[in-house]
Amino acid sequence: MDKQVFVMDHPLIQHKLTYLRDKNTGSKEFRALVSEIATLVCYEATRDLPLEETEIETPLVKAKTKVIAGRKLALVPILRAGLGMVDGVLTLVPAAKVGHIGLYRDHETLQPVEYYSKLPSDLPQRDVLVLDPMLATGGSAIDAISIIKRSQPKSIKFLCIIAAPEGVRALTQAHPDVQVYCAAVDDRLNENGYILPGLGDAGDRIFGTL
Ligand code: PRP
Ligand code: URA
């Protein structure tokens, strides 16, 4: 298949990422930055959307132009932190349906625990973008994608903001058919499964529950 992991090194993203990582950035600004980066990551992740020709009239002449070819998308944020990416992605694809998967990492075992799942019923007709700002051990993303695959969507892409090399390896091995888009691949995980340098706990920083 094509390249499976896309790291977005665009200067605008790298600039915003610096403020996102900064521990002095408060929740209001943090939420805005997550949303803006999600828009930019989505821009790249939708690069291969197929186009079809249409004809319109400009104020001057008739012209053959292009529109997106009826491709249907579904967004699936992983609760909680994935919610922070939804609005930014909907800015670009406002007609997408939104499902939700609730997972949290058990702090002792680092294993994901599922507590909620509600997906659009027409997933077999849709391409899915799974949203979660953090890919750490990869356990949450791997489980969420396995749950989504049971509904047999046309395709799945995983969009995150910061990934650990360990998570990228685990996810690409578990789901070789899923392309991964992120703004950065950091150094490593610490002994508690946090990404270094990272940004801390994304859910807590988005929702102010530190
Ligand atoms: C965070 C993050 C991912 C997960 C990544 O969620 O948003 O879902 O950890 O870690 P992993 O790759 O090791 O599975 P968390 O479990 O803290 O839940 P929350 O979003 O409800 O805070
Ligand atoms: N989840 C987070 O929110 N941050 C990390 O660094 C790892 C998992």
Q: What is the pLDDT along the chain (210 residues), one digit of tens a residue?
A: 458 999 998 999 999 999 999 999 999 999 999 999 999 999 999 999 999 999 999 999 999 999 998 779 999 999 999 999 999 999 999 999 999 999 988 888 888 899 999 999 999 999 999 999 999 999 999 999 999 999 999 999 999 999 999 999 999 999 999 999 999 999 999 999 999 999 999 999 999 998
Distance, first Cα to last Cα, the chain = 41
Name the active-site residue from 18, 109, 122, 187. 109
Dist CA 135 CA 131 (whole Å) = 10
In this predicted structure, what is the pLDDT of residue 56?
97
A 10 A CB-CB count for 105 gives 18
Question: Could you give the angle at which helices 83-90 and 27-45 cross, rounded to 10 degrees?
Answer: 50
In this predicted structure, what is the pLDDT of residue 1?
47
The Å distance, Cα 134 to ligand 1 centre, comes to: 7
A 10 A CB-CB count for 72 gives 16
Helix (H) or strand (E) holding 42: helix 27-45
The Å distance, Cα 35 to ligand 2 centre, comes to: 17
Residue 9 bears catalytic tag:
no
Atom of ligand 2 nearest to the CA of 189: 6
Contact between 148 and 174 (Cβ < 8 Å)? no
pTM of the predicted model over 0.85: yes
The Å distance, Cα 82 to ligand 1 centre, comes to: 9
In this predicted structure, what is the pLDDT of residue 2?
56
